[in-house]
Amino acid sequence: MADITGVTVHEEHTSTGLSSTKLAMWLFLASECMLFGGLITAYMLYRGASLKGPYPEDVFDIGYTSVSSFVLLASSLTMVLAHNAALEKDYPRMRLWLTGTAMLGLTFVGGQVFEFTSFYREGLSLTTNMFGTTFYVLTGFHGVHVTVGVLMLMILVVMSWRSSLSDDPAFPVEMVGLYWHFVDIVWIVIFTLVYLIPTPQK
Amino acid sequence: MTDDTQTTEHATQAPAHAEYHPSAREYVRVGLILVALTCIEVYLSYSGLAGAKLIALLLTATVIKFLMVVGYFMHLKFDNGRFSRMFALGAIGALTLYAAVLLMFGVWGK
């Protein structure tokens, strides 16, 4: 379907002329915007509303979280490179990039587990204050999404090894890629709103 | 019966569409811009800048990063416009709804 110039011609035999699976994926991602929008709004509503510490400035390590952000950005790049390799029917390279993406995703999740553990040791639990509740729920939900993405990537790699992917492996790679990039854009927003914008002083 | 006929007609008339796929080099370039923007964001947070100016700069960088990932990595810039509209429905809907909630509770005044 793809030629060397990078132009792919698709013709879908549906009433819309578009892939229903892809349309459904975009609809799902649109609904995920509402989910994360709600969680981010809850965090924003209760910013600076905690009556006792630890407060964000007591526990956040911007340098550490920045590295996590770079890891997730790098994973988005490896994901598109996997899709590119799939379009060129270079399946060994596709598997390599998919595995790399999964490893970067695992690194991000590992970093988040470490961050949560250190925050807990500093006295911030889910029920300590409003900051703890909204922070853990928001970033925890995001972490679960990354974990699900890693599982999907690993399943793709295994299916590709077993040659049990469809005739056009670029399509499932694209679908998983859309989910993965969405998880990345959610983190882009969380990183700025939660970590970088200072909490208002009471 | 009429609906079935219309659907079939529509399906047979569905045009093939050509999609442009950026090269690996272009993707790497976009990735580097994203890294540079993130570095700027982190620098800004340490720069001592405060208040509305800092928030405006950080949000601008975030919006640019968001649009770059959605446009290039998620391919919306080159894909059929209906996918963009589908996603915009959720994204702009969420933004409008939650911005109204934050305004209602006076979060911007803090």
CATH at residue A191: 1.20.120.80
Tell me which amino acid residue A100 is. G
In a domain, A3, yes or no: no
Query: What per-residue confidence (pLDDT) applies to A199?
Result: 81
Q: Taking the model in full, what pTM does it have?
A: 0.88
Query: What per-residue confidence (pLDDT) applies to B16?
Result: 39
Say whether residue B83 is in contact with chain A using an 8 A CB cutoff.
Answer: yes
pLDDT at residue A105 above 90? yes
For the record, the structure tokens of A115 come out as 């961050």
Contacts of A198 in chain B (CB under 8 A): 45, 50, 54
Give the model's confidence band at A5: pLDDT under 50 very low, under 70 low, under 90 confident, else very high: very low
Contacts of B60 (CB under 8 A, 6+ apart): none
- Minimal C-alpha gap between A71 and chain B (Å): 10
Give the residue numbers spanning the domain of A111: 20-45+61-196
Partner-chain contact B107 A182, CB within 8 Å: no
Instruction: Determine the Cα–Cα distance for residues B64 and B1; give it in Å rounded to an integer.
Output: 48
Domain count, chain A: 1
Write the pLDDT tens digit of every residue in A160-196.
Answer: 999 888 778 899 999 999 999 999 999 999 999 999 9
Say whether residue A80 is in contact with chain B using an 8 A CB cutoff.
Answer: yes
In a domain, A168, yes or no: yes
For chain A, what percentages of helix, strand and coil (3-state, to nearest 5) are there? 70, 0, 25
Partner-chain contact B83 A9, CB within 8 Å: no
In a domain, A136, yes or no: yes
- Residues facing residue A10 across a β-bridge: B17
pLDDT in tens, chain B (110 residues): 344 444 444 443 333 344 678 899 999 999 999 999 999 999 999 998 888 899 999 999 999 999 999 999 999 999 888 999 989 989 999 999 999 998 888 776 55
User: What are the distances in angstroms from CA A190 to CA A24, A139, A193?
Assistant: 25, 8, 5
User: What are the distances in angstroms from CA B72 to CA A177, B61, B76, B79?
Assistant: 12, 16, 7, 10
In a domain, A131, yes or no: yes
Partner-chain contact A17 B65, CB within 8 Å: no
Write the pLDDT tens digit of every residue in A54-86.
Answer: 999 999 999 999 999 999 999 999 999 999 999
In a domain, A55, yes or no: no
In a domain, A202, yes or no: no
Query: What per-residue confidence (pLDDT) applies to A60?
Result: 93
Q: What is the ipTM of this complex?
A: 0.88
In a domain, A171, yes or no: yes
